[in-house]
A and B are shown apart, each in its own frame.
Chain A
Amino acid sequence: MDDTHAQHGWSPRRFETLIGQLLRIGVGLSAAVVFIGGVLFLVQYWNTTAEGLRVFNNGEPDVLRHISGIVHFALTLHSRGMIQVGLLILIATPVARVAFSVVGFAGERDWLYVNVTLAVLAILLFGLIFS
């Protein structure tokens, strides 16, 4: 890595620092949303047994499996939906990091790695949206 053009706004090092900040913000935001949802969850489920958290009954309901369902569920102030939104933010954080890296490599005019990164991004989006 060279720092020769560090003063002119565009340097790989500065970009890596930005990526570090992006990761920190994503994790922090996610943890905050999960925490608030968690407090609400304990209030709403205070008098229940933990059986539902242990036993796998065909998995989660449909509203907790897809992005649109999760967001709708969360907007009705349902705690399980809110936690799931926090977890979605968490899963999206590395995806955003990769998307950001496309810009970074483009800034370095490294087209080989722009393509490599785009391919990684495509695989990630496949897992998140089309699976």
Chain B
Amino acid sequence: MSTPEFTLFVAFGSLVAGMLGALTGLGGGVVIVPLLTLCFGVDMRYAIGASLVSVIATSSGAAAAYVKEGYSNMRVGMFLELATTIGAVSGAYLAVRVPTSGIAIIFGIVLLFSAYAENRKRSDTLDDQPPDHLATLLKLDGSYPSAEGPKSYRVRNVPAGFGLMYVAGVVSGLLGIGSGAVKVLAMDQAMHIPFKVSTTTSNFMIGVTAAASAGIYLHKGYIDPGLAMPVMLGVLAGALIGARILPGARVKILRIVFSAVIAALAVEMIYKGVKGGL
């Protein structure tokens, strides 16, 4: 394939990925690496580098919108970024040492988890128990706007959430994805933060987490400008289009279809990883 053809196809694939990612809330990053490695035969390391860059673009773009709405909790975000950035740096160093077949297998497992997590039932547990000591000390409790005025919530299980966030950082640095699914799990399941606050704060954190490992990827020569260019522009354009058509979209069906695609890609990644075809 010639360079212009390759660029065009990759840009188009990334655009679709970015659009579906924005519409379903799964993020475009999760399918970029399988798309590049399985469909375009790109080396895993270059694919991860390009994916990581696109993750920073969409996360920062989306965070700009969310911050304005007042859902994201800046203190929760910043405190947990301590864990995710340390995790991301360790993940990036790990990526240099783990063979690509191993990364493919881990990638598949994380993909399966993301597809599952996106489709599980959500219930906000707004409790009226006394405030958590550590959460109070760190001023993590907050409130978010709702139809009936600001609703306040209390944050729990800070150490468990912090630990899970470290894992989310490692996953992000190792696989070049935002690992939003793990971040939301840490906040919404472990720390009892309302779902809407969890997802927006997670989006806010993804860019910072990815930036922590992107520098290391750059130094290791994993970021190829010729590949990252169509991926980043495609995913960004797709995410912008996705956000625009979101209000009228039939998200439920899309989410099921996209989750099925992700699950299929996951199985293929694990298979190729075991067989050693990547």
| B3 engages A45 (CB within 8 Å) | yes
| A93 engages B82 (CB within 8 Å) | no
| B53 engages A35 (CB within 8 Å) | no
Task: Kindly list chain B residues whose C-beta atoms are within 8 Å of the C-beta of A104.
Answer: 74
Task: Kindly list chain A residues whose C-beta atoms are within 8 Å of the C-beta of B277.
Answer: none
Query: Secondary structure of the B side of the interface?
Result: helix
Considering the complex, which residues of chain B in the window 1-51 have a beta carbon less than 8 Å from any beta carbon of chain A? 1-7, 40-43, 45-46
Q: Is residue A68 within 8 Å, beta carbon to beta carbon, of the partner chain?
A: no
| A50 engages B216 (CB within 8 Å) | no
| A90 engages B57 (CB within 8 Å) | yes
Q: A35's closest neighbor in chain B, by CB?
A: B233
**How many residue pairs between the two chains, A and B, have CB atoms under 8 Å in the bound complex?**
209
Q: B1's closest neighbor in chain A, by CB?
A: A50
Task: State whether A65 and B221 are in contact (beta carbons under 8 Å apart), knowing that A48-B3, A94-B210, A94-B211 are contacts in the complex.
Answer: yes
| B3 engages A20 (CB within 8 Å) | no
Q: A66's closest neighbor in chain B, by CB?
A: B219
Task: Kindly list chain B residues whose C-beta atoms are within 8 Å of the C-beta of A48.
Answer: 2-3
**Closest chain B CB from A99 CB (angstroms):** 11
| A80 engages B233 (CB within 8 Å) | no
Give the docked Cα–Cα distance between A45 and B225 (Å). Answer: 12
The proximity string for A residues 81-107 relative to B, scoring 1 for CB distances below 8 Å and 0 otherwise, is 101100110111111011001001100
The proximity string for B residues 60-90 relative to A, scoring 1 for CB distances below 8 Å and 0 otherwise, is 1101110110100011001101100110110
**Closest chain B CB from A43 CB (angstroms):** 10
**Closest chain B CB from A121 CB (angstroms):** 9
A-B CB contact pairs (8 Å), 8 listed: A17-B67, A20-B63, A27-B57, A53-B227, A90-B53, A98-B78, A98-B208, A120-B208
Interface residues of A (CB under 8 A from B): 1, 12-13, 16-17, 19-21, 23-24, 26-27, 30-31, 34-35, 37-38, 41-42, 45-50, 52-56, 58-61, 64-66, 79-81, 83-84, 87-88, 90-95, 97-98, 101, 104-105, 110, 112-113, 116-117, 119-120, 123-124, 126-129, 131
Interface residues of B (CB under 8 A from A): 1-7, 40-43, 45-46, 53, 56-57, 59-61, 63-65, 67-68, 70, 74-75, 78-79, 81-82, 85-86, 88-89, 92, 138-139, 142-143, 207-208, 210-216, 218-230, 232-233, 236
Additional A-B contacts beyond A34-B232, A83-B225 (19; CB < 8 A) = A17-B68, A21-B64, A23-B67, A38-B230, A46-B2, A50-B7, A53-B227, A59-B221, A65-B218, A87-B53, A90-B60, A91-B214, A94-B211, A119-B82, A123-B82, A127-B211, A127-B215, A129-B215, A131-B216
